[in-house]
Structure 1
Amino acid sequence: MENLPYGALAALVGLSGGLVLGLAARLGDFCTLGALESSIYGGDHRRLRLWGIVLGTAIAGCYLAQAAGYIDLSQTLYQSVRWNPWASIVGGLVFGYGMALAGNCGFGALARFGGGDLRSLVVVVVMAVFSFITLNGPLAPLRITLFPQIGAESSQNYADLISGLTGLPPLAIALPVAVLCFAWALSYAPLRRSPRRLVWGLLAGLAVVWAFVGTAWLADQSFGEVAIEGPSFTAPLGRTLIYLMTSTAGGITFSVGSVIGVMAGAFIGSSIRGLFRWEACEDPRELGRQVTGAALMGIGGVVALGCSVGQGVSAFATLAYSGPVTLACIGAGAVLGLRHLIGGFQPG
């Protein structure tokens, strides 16, 4: 292990965390769009309330790790860049609407592809391409003009904000928030009777903490060569695609490891449950809808600096200003998209 380059070590951190998240998707039914669909149209709130377990675990774990000196959350992307509310709102809405059209977010598409759904491979590739079109390609100048990313000069999280007003340490702010997340989740009796989901919700939250702590240790050891990262699946899809095609453009990184880990975990999980089966798209209109949705997610995710997992879990875990706002806008965009689809709207 000592002879491995730091990028490879970061990839192993991402691979192990991604493996757990992929298993959580398949064995614990952890899915953003699926949670909204089953809650709104199926009357089953277990998957939605599971988010309380994931977030409660991630928030408590991250702030306990910071209090213990294992990580400085201010060095994460979500807090080192000045929060742009419009980027969170516009990017979140665009991402959420695209998620509904595509039938999955980037994380969900990776998990479904790991289960044999070839349609999700189309979503992953198109989303990866459009994320880099927006990040560094033809749409980059427009993105930079409309949603400039400026380094933060002050704290960008709710825990430090409230700490400054009350004098309480950030941990004393974060732990009650985590408790509220757990209470919201466990107040729903059907979820309490689903130990499988509860266990995988805890493990998914711990996977996020592991990612931050692992990359923080590597960042310290490498003198900043490795960035402190949590799981996210928008621009990392593009980085992984480029790496698989060229083995260059930044080389192997945490992003590459986490993407491959989710697919591997999903494959293992779907195989354990006997759910692995090859599926393909037979309806050209469905394919057009998925391509459109994937393109929107690639654009929206880069604008918002993260996806339903990147902002909705990783940024939320640090209590960054952007996390709850972006997650709420992703949810609103997804609900709007689902209503359009149910009403018969078909793009293209």
Structure 2
Amino acid sequence: MASTVLIIGGSGRIGRSVALDLLRHTDVTLTLTGRRPQPRFKLEPRQQYRALRLEDQAQVGAAIAAHDLVIHCAGPFRTRDLQVLRQCIEQATPYIDIADSPDYVSEALALSDVAQAAGVSCIVSTGVFPGISNSMVRQGIEQLDSADQVHLSYLVAGSGGAGVTVMRTTFIELQTPFTAKVNGQHVTIQPYSEREVLPFPEPYNQGAGVYWFNTVEALTLAQSFPQLNSVITKFGSLPDAYNRLTGLMTRLPAGWLTSTAVIESLSQISYAMTQVTDRFSGTGIAMRLAIDGQQRGQAARYLATATHPDTAAAAGYGTGSMAQLVLSGQLSRPGVWSVEQALPTSLFEKTLAARGLVINNTICCPQNSEFGGRN
């Protein structure tokens, strides 16, 4: 009998992308959930829909019990509690999510011993960034004799093909300063600060800036690779005008971005704007990774880039590949883990090759001690 997978939040853009990836690469039967009584999209073969509200813990527990794997795609995760993860651990049902909130992920990772005792594998933040990006870092570190600094940067065109929830997440993460590891010290960073213009692959090399952003990767990579002195994560949008507007949001009066009503209004307005600009900007993503370290006794820099014309589809690749590996038994690691902790590079490369996603990489000698770029 084919495995059954529950995708909580499966009616959203990312959830449906995950479902599509699983339909292409596995023979699973899928249950997609949403808050509405009926879906607003056409169900594919091997898919069914279930109305489910996360506030109803009894119904959530019953839904989990009827499936072999749970994939949690219902963000924004900064406003979520851990009840889905806890119920999966209690029922010994493998769990995967696309969590993009460092606060949520930190609390989830704290349950690793409980999940390990229950013998259940739980993997957090499995999309594209975080997700594929984490594995790119592990892949790069393994190419060097030693690694000292990591600089991860992302450019997303327009809406990225995602829904309004991603807009909410962006504005939520602008609310407060965050901590990052820089030069061996944990320092406080202002969100959307220290603009850099970095060389990205075409067609994303248009002079758009990237900015400090509070990411899961900055949290977990520093934990997974404690030898790193710096973990820098920056994010930007295309067209570049969106970056300027987002930067202005950080200058709003204190308290505005903590208002649910303000967050919702800004998110809806931003999403409406992207529905216009997506027509010429596209919805793709470019990821750029630079790792400074040592190779054969000399300073070396590992550079890697990856692009995809549909950010939401790329997120589906990341989560779908993890689900495929868990369901097939190729990946089993009881506990709660980030992607780079759970996924061996050999399996990462295998699943990406099956999906046609190419990572271009090289090792060179750094020209200077900086990661490069201009303001």
Per the TM superposition, whether the score is higher than 0.5 is no
More strand by share: 2
TM-score between the two structures when normalised by the length of structure 1? 0.29
TM-score (normalizing by structure 2): 0.28
Structure with larger Rg: 2
